[in-house]
């Protein structure tokens, strides 16, 4: 019944994160999501890419110390227990693991307040200012 309201709210958070963190992307400190111009999205998540696993771990730790729950995005299937048991990986893992180790998901949920959004942005900016 309130799907449109929920989507508007999540899009507002997504757009605020993007605008607030774009200066870091412009400086080459992190990578923001890319949405092709001809595409739309539902703000299901907001991720950013750090330089590497060490930086991602430090950023998540910094955010957690400031009461912000950010999580890593995913474990590649070939590294997961089920993938190792039932799957196979052919060729060299040139990108999958390295890219998965860079991804961080920022808080994204219906009802995230403007103050919460601003705090997340401020703490990410603070981390990269160190």
Per-residue pLDDT at 75: 79
Q: What integer pLDDT is reported at residue 107 of this predicted model?
A: 97
**pLDDT recorded at residue 85:** 87
pLDDT score of 58: 98
Predicted TM-score (pTM) of this structure = 0.89
Quick one: pLDDT at residue 95?
Answer: 82
Sign, CA torsion 27/28/29/31: positive
Sites in the chain below the pLDDT cut of 70: none
pLDDT at position 26, please?
A: 98
CB-count burial class (<10 Å; 0-12, 13-18, 19+) for 114: exposed
Question: Measuring CA to CA, which residue among 67, 76, 63, 66 is closest to residue 105?
Answer: 63
Whether the Cβ atoms of residue 71 and residue 57 lie closer than 8 Å to each other:
no
Residue of 124, 126, 107, 95 lying closest to 9 (CA atoms): 107
């Amino acid at each position: 019944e309130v799907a449109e309201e929920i989507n508007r709210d999540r899009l507002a958070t997504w757009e605020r994160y993007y605008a607030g963190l774009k200066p870091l992307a412009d400086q080459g400190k992190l990578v923001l999501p890319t949405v092709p111009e001809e595409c739309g999205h539902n703000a299901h998540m907001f991720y950013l890419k750090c330089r590497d696993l060490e930086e991602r771990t430090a950023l998540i730790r910094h955010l957690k110390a400031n009461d912000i729950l950010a999580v890593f995005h995913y474990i590649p299937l070939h590294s997961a227990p089920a993938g190792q048991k039932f799957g196979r990986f052919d060729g060299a893992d040139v990108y999958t693991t390295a890219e998965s180790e860079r991804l961080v998901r920022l808080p994204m949920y219906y009802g995230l307040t403007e103050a919460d959004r601003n705090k997340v942005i401020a703490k990410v900016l603070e981390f990269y200012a160190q």
